Chain A
Amino acid sequence: MKESPSPGLCCRIEMRVPSVTGSLAVVRAALHAMGGAFGLCEADDHDVCLAVDEALANVIQHAYAGQSDQSILVAIELRGSAGDGSVSISIEDRGRAVRPEEIRGRALDELRPGGLGVHIIRSVMDDVEYAAGPEGGTILRLGKRLGRHGKNEQARRADASAPRSPTRDGGPRQRDEETDEGGTQA
C-alpha cells in the first residue's frame, strides 16, 4: 500500500452531477483520482467506488425515477492516512422520499435480478445512514475505516449478509431498490 501524501491530511471534494446514468463514470473517475492521490489500496478504492456508484444508481432510478433534469450532490472526505484513516461520503438528492414500509431488503438465498444495490453498499461500508434532506429528498451518509482488508474484513462482509435491525442503519427512512422488474438491475 502506498503512503498517503501527508499523514493526518483531510481531503474533501464535492460534485453536483446531473441525474443521468452518464454521471456514474464521471463520479467514479473523480473518486479514482482522489483515492489514487491519497494512496488508497485497490480494495478500498473499489469499495468506495462501488458504494457510491450503487447509491447514485439508486437515486437516479428510484428517487428521481428517471428524471434527467435533476441533480445529485456528492461529497467525499478522506481523513488520516490510507492505512489508518477513514472516508465519509454524503449523497444528497431532492427526489421522492421513500417510506420504510414501501421498501424491503433482499434475501440472497434466491437467484434473481434486482434488489442487490443496498446489500452491496452495506457490505463494503461500515456505516450507512439515511436521513431526510432539509429541502425534501434524502441524504445518504456512508462511512468506512480504511486499510482493513484482510481476514477481519472478510468476516465483516459475511456479517453484512445477516438480517439487520432497523436501528443499525440509523435514520428515520431507508431506501432500497428491491424490484420485481428484473432485467437490467440486480
Chain B
Amino acid sequence: MTDPSAAVKGIRSVKGATVITLAGDIDLHHVPQIHPVLLREVDKKPSVLVIDLGDVGYMDSSGVGVLVQVFQRVKAYRGKLRLARMGPRVRSIFEITKLDKYFALRDSVEAALES
C-alpha cells in the first residue's frame, strides 16, 4: 500500500517538454488538489506533456477523469500527452475502462520524452 496522500511531486522542463510527477493515491479526495495544477500547466500549452505516474500506487475513476480532461485539452491545441511509468494497479483501471487505447503509455520518462 502506498502513501494514501497524493500530490504533485514535481514539475520540470526537459528538452522543451513539461514533466509532471504525481505521487500517492489519486482518488476523489485528492483530485481537487491535483486537478487545478494539471490544468494550469496545460494552459501553458507545452508541445509535449509527460505525466510521470511511477509513484502513484492507486487511482480511481475520478483520477482517470482528470487525465481524460487533460488529454482532451492537450489534443485541442495539437500537443502531445504521454503517461510514463504506469504501475499495474493504475494500468488496470485504464484497461477496464478501455481508455488505454487513447493514451500514449511509456515505460520511462526518458522514453516519453523521445517519442
Q: Which residues of A contact B (CB under 8 A)?
A: 21-22, 24-25, 28-29, 32, 42-43, 46, 49-50, 53-54, 57, 60-61, 108, 111-114, 116-117, 119-120, 123-124, 157, 161, 182-186
Q: Which residues of B contact A43 (CB under 8 A)?
A: 92
Q: Select B27's contact among A25, A46, A124, beta carbons within 8 Å.
A: A25
Q: In the bound complex, do residue A186 and residue B98 qualify as a contact, i.e. CB atoms below 8 Å apart?
A: no
Q: Which residues of A contact B92 (CB under 8 A)?
A: 43, 46, 50
Interface of B is mostly: helix
How many interface residues does chain B have, given as a range? 20 to 34
Q: In the bound complex, do residue A186 and residue B61 qualify as a contact, i.e. CB atoms below 8 Å apart?
A: yes
Q: Which residues of B contact A (CB under 8 A)?
A: 1, 4, 25, 27-29, 31-32, 35, 58, 60-66, 68-69, 71-72, 88-89, 92-93, 96-99, 102
CB distance from A21 to the nearest CB of B (A): 4
Q: Which residues of A contact B66 (CB under 8 A)?
A: 113, 183-184, 186
With most chain B CB atoms within 10 A of its CB, the pick from A60, A123, A184, A186 is: A186
CA distance A22 to B1 in the complex (A): 16
Q: In the bound complex, do residue A29 and residue B72 qualify as a contact, i.e. CB atoms below 8 Å apart?
A: no
Q: Select A32's contact among B1, B88, B98, beta carbons within 8 Å.
A: B1
Q: In the bound complex, do residue B68 and residue A113 qualify as a contact, i.e. CB atoms below 8 Å apart?
A: yes
